[in-house]
Amino acid sequence: MNVLHGGDVIVGALGHRNALHGYEGVLPKSVEAGQVLHVLNLGGVVGKCVSHNPDVGKPFQFEVLGQVLVYPEFGSRQGRPANIKLPALKGGNALPRCPVVFVAGTCMNSGKTAAASAIVRRLRQAGMRVGGLKLTGVSLMKDTLAMGDYGAEVALDFTDAGIVCTSQDTAAPTAHVLFSEMAARGVDVIVAETGDGVMGEYGVQAILSDPELMKLSSAFVFCANDPVGVKGGVDYLRDAFGIAADLIAGPATDNRVGIRFIEKHVHVPAMNARTDPKGVGEFVLNLVRKRSAA
């Protein structure tokens, strides 16, 4: 999370980004030394910015110096262009049989990682081996590192499967790889967060539409910034995917005003992961135990 300054030399990965509260960036048609491109996110994804949110301003520009090389043959100095897919997880055929807690939201910055981290901590305190997944978004280690800090034994995201930024085409297949990898790790429970929102361009809809993946769900937590987002999101999940939200979190629950409205008019329990992380974790723990027993 270093601040960039003029003259710094960085390593980035080419990718696209479609962030409502950040940058929209695309892959350039070609790249050569001396070309000027943009840093699209804190994770080092680079490309050509085509639009930006006024709150974040224009992106940081950089000059291309060259391409990172790898030397796969022992004793050879013949370099080959590096690619993020070289060390990527391949996954297996079997999906996990353990409970999965899905955490989704209306958009970026809607409280998903705070909720996921609170849930991870309580499940870990209950003696479970917890796996943490970030299924969609643009490459950034912040969320998986947070899950590890809160007690996840294993924390993986789509970057580990060789994807810089997910899309409708890549999200579901990549999620299958990550879940099968977790099955091989033998965790007791998985907390799976989807980046961005249930309406967006990172492929969350493809995951929610996948019957094999949704069959894994033992609990579904939905995060939103305001009561309208809660109502619209809950209805959309139900009508488009047949998914019933079990708990509402996020800024819409920052005080009793939002919680009261949600529980009275949307008829779904609501808790705040920042002010009552233990309550959020306990609610999900009890739900996982109940549904696992059934």
Each residue's pLDDT tens digit, 158-174 = 999 999 999 999 999 99
- Are 110 and 75 part of one and the same domain? no
Residue type, 98: C
**Residues 180-198: pLDDT tens digits?**
999 999 999 999 999 999 9
- Are 24 and 104 part of one and the same domain? no
- Are 133 and 269 part of one and the same domain? yes
**Does residue 43 contact residue 35 with C-beta atoms inside 8 Å?**
no
Last residue of a domain, one of 46, 81, 116: 81
Residue 294 has pLDDT above 80, yes or no: no
- Are 65 and 141 part of one and the same domain? no
- Are 241 and 113 part of one and the same domain? yes
**Residues 21-55: pLDDT tens digits?**
899 999 999 999 999 999 999 999 999 999 999 99
- Are 67 and 126 part of one and the same domain? no
**Does residue 200 contact residue 110 with C-beta atoms inside 8 Å?**
no
- Are 122 and 31 part of one and the same domain? no
- Are 64 and 196 part of one and the same domain? no
Q: Kindly report the pTM of this predicted structure.
A: 0.93
- Determine the pLDDT at residue 232: 97
Over residues 108-115, the mean pLDDT reads: 94
- Are 117 and 218 part of one and the same domain? yes
pLDDT confidence bin for 75, thresholds 50/70/90: confident
For residue 283, give the CATH number of its domain: 3.40.50.300
- Are 140 and 245 part of one and the same domain? yes
In a domain, 42, yes or no: yes
